[in-house]
Copies of this chain bind each other. A is one copy, B any other.
Amino acid sequence: MPQRFDLLVVGGGVIGLSVAWRAARGGLRAAVMDPAPASGASHAAAGMLAPVSEVTYTEEPLLRLGLASLARWPSFAAELAADAGREVRDLDYGDGGTLDVAFGADDMAALEELAAFATGLGLPARRLTGRECRRLEPMLAPSVRGGMLAERDAWVDPRRVTAALLAALERRGVTLLRTRAAALETSAGRVTGVRPAGGAAVGADRVVLATGAWSGGPAGSGGADGPAAIEGLPPGALPPVRPVKGQIMRLRSPEPILGRCVRGTVHGSHVYLVPRADGELVVGATQEELGFDTRVTAGGLWELLRDARELVPGVTELELSDTVAGLRPGTPDNLPVIGPAGPPGLWLATGHHRNGVLLAPLTADLCAGDGDPDLLKICSPLRFQEPC
């Protein structure tokens, strides 16, 4: 007798797992299909929950999404921890803000404008002198001339979050199908389930595609080196998602050397440092458009080390504990793709680019039909589809 679920999520990253968990909490029989859950972009992510410090002039819709999801994080973390049988502190959730620092005159001017823009929007952002920055973070380089503190920005350890999600799913009786999805099953124009590679179809009333960088249609598939997109969809139903490579480095310290996330622009490239309670320091992240390339390269590491040293010279004393590269699912407008797409029975929850961890609570709520319809509209897959 074939398996059948209310909801089948394809893709077990932080987005897919959150969607399935929220559905299960809502009483649905849910399943997740992924040959290697929590091993992609979520595994590489640093876990900044920083909508304010990442705000830019052209991206107010993204800011709205980020603020809405950041507001959900405390309850998301509390419920997740409870469901997983853990404490909130096991997720390494911290809310000490993000300190954005500047070195040169150009950086200072840009920071000034950003702070004016943020405070104009009523966002909790505060301009600091170099001295004030170093009072907050004594390990900062003496050459830091000023900064902006986004006081409500937070962070979390994505690896602990996905581990907790997997534990919560198990306790909620959600089925984890460790296999690759090959094709959507359709019947009378409606999606009815998913056929795994070399297996029998799994039936579902609704299928959510949450396959991150591997969600793209031909326009965004990264070219000939890209893996085959899922089969069974009409042309144009897959969104223009492309892989955006990011390399990060984890350093080990006997105790935390920073009290909050620190970011800055060095030689024109952005770098950020995310502290963990156990002293680990995550340094990220490069942005490279290289198709489905997940090699950690000498050049990527060199950039991270060069820039991190510039911000916090003391990092040179820390031990290297991990290097990893992940593929963010980028979209043309940097906004995620969430909502019904193509044939009935199919939803998308992908394209979160740099913001998958931040936007997981909001995405899960939107997929559960619980959230501001305006926000869902911002994320609609239809914005990329050709008019009929």
Contact = CB atoms under 8 A, between A and B. Distances in A.
Interface of A: 249, 251, 295-299, 301-302, 305-306, 308-309, 315-320, 323
DSSP class of A's interface residues: helix, strand, loop or mixed?
helix
A342 B251 CA distance: 45
Contacts of A315: 298-299
Contacts of A319: 295-298
Contacts of A251: 298
A322 to B, nearest CB: 11
6 contacts: A296-B319, A297-B320, A298-B315, A298-B320, A301-B305, A302-B309
Contacts of A316: 297-299, 302
Residue in A295, A301, A306, A318 whose Cβ sees the most chain B Cβ within 10 Å: A301
Nearest to A315: B298
Chain multiplicity (copies)? 2
A298 B305 CA distance: 7
Contacts of A320: 296-298, 301, 323
A317 B299 CA distance: 6
Nearest to A308: B298
A291 to B, nearest CB: 14
Given A297-B317, A301-B301, A305-B305, 11 more contacts: A251-B298, A296-B319, A297-B318, A298-B305, A298-B309, A298-B315, A299-B315, A299-B317, A302-B302, A302-B305, A302-B316
Contacts of A306: 302, 306
What 10 pairs across the A-B complex have the smallest Cβ distances? A299-B316, A302-B305, A295-B319, A296-B320, A298-B315, A298-B318, A298-B316, A251-B298, A297-B319, A298-B305
A251 B318 CA distance: 21
Nearest to A321: B296
A296 B250 CA distance: 12
A272 B316 CA distance: 21
Nearest to A293: B319
A104 B195 CA distance: 64
A317 B288 CA distance: 12
Contacts of A309: 298-299, 302
